[in-house]
């Protein structure tokens, strides 16, 4: 008899603003009860309805810098003028519970984690459980329509996000998977299929018996 125990999965998902990443990830977490979001740190002010320790860990710029200097972050980056980061301890604690962890982060953060996976001095815990996915819009024209269609951002903000999106799209080849989010149902089917397949990789299995 073969007995296998699966290692929890660390799934990183990146996308330009407006590409539909949040919609897809929220749906994945809702369908699969064994995967949950990691809680990131940020220096931006809380928005209405956000709760410290649930939505984000809201830190001052000084507190954020102290954690950077102490090498406590798995990744950190500055996005749209605010700083964001994921604490190693947060990911460790989530994985120890046996749950898969979903990280919704930008290309800067994903690149740092990828570098850590390849060259980190204490990276054994992450090497066999890491997978990353890039969500791309079908075109820049489509992305522009989506951002303008929100009606919630000023013109200067939208133009800044479009300029950044153009830069971020150049990173898609660095990811293990890419999903072009043309039709939301097709894109979600692709995302959930990746999760299911990655959960069955031999490298994520342990405890083989007879």
153 pLDDT band (50/70/90 cuts)? Answer: low
Report which of 38, 42, 44, 33 is spatially closest to residue 12, judged by C-alpha positions. 38
So where are the chain's domains? Answer: 5-38+98-206
Beta strands at 5-6 and 73-79: parallel, antiparallel or unpaired: unpaired
**Angle between helix 140-150 and helix 155-168 axes, rounded to 10 deg:** 150
User: pLDDT tens for residues 90-108?
Assistant: 998 989 888 999 999 989 8
What mean pLDDT, rounded, does the chain reach? Answer: 89
User: pLDDT tens for residues 33-87?
Assistant: 999 999 999 999 998 999 998 889 999 999 999 999 999 999 998 877 899 999 9
Is the pLDDT at 210 greater than 60, yes or no? no
- Rounded-to-integer distance, Cα 166 and Cα 121, Å: 33
- Rounded-to-integer distance, Cα 60 and Cα 57, Å: 10
CATH for 5-38+98-206, options being 3.40.50.150, 2.60.120.620, 3.40.50.720, 3.40.50.300: 3.40.50.300
Across the range 120-141, mean pLDDT stands at 90
- Rounded-to-integer distance, Cα 180 and Cα 191, Å: 11
């Amino acid at each position: 008899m073969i007995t296998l125990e699966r290692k929890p999965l660390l799934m990183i998902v990146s996308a330009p603003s407006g590409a539909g990443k949040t919609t897809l990830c929220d749906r994945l977490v809702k369908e699969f009860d064994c995967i949950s979001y990691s809680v990131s740190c940020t220096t931006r002010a809380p928005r209405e309805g956000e709760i410290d320790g649930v939505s984000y860990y809201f830190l001052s710029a000084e507190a954020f810098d102290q954690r950077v200097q102490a090498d406590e972050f798995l990744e950190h980056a500055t996005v749209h003028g605010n700083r964001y980061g994921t604490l190693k301890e947060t990911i460790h604690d989530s994985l120890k519970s046996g749950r898969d962890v979903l990280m919704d982060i930008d290309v800067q953060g994903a690149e740092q984690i990828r570098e850590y996976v390849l060259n980190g001095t204490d990276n054994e815990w992450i090497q066999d459980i890491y997978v990353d996915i890039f969500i791309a819009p079908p075109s820049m024209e489509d992305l522009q329509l989506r951002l303008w269609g929100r009606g919630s951002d000023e013109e200067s903000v939208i133009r800044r996000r479009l300029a950044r999106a153009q830069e971020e799209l150049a990173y898609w080849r660095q990811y293990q998977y890419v999903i072009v989010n043309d039709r939301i149902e097709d894109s979600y089917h692709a995302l959930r299929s990746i999760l299911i397949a990655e959960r069955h990789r031999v490298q994520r299995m342990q405890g083989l018996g007879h």
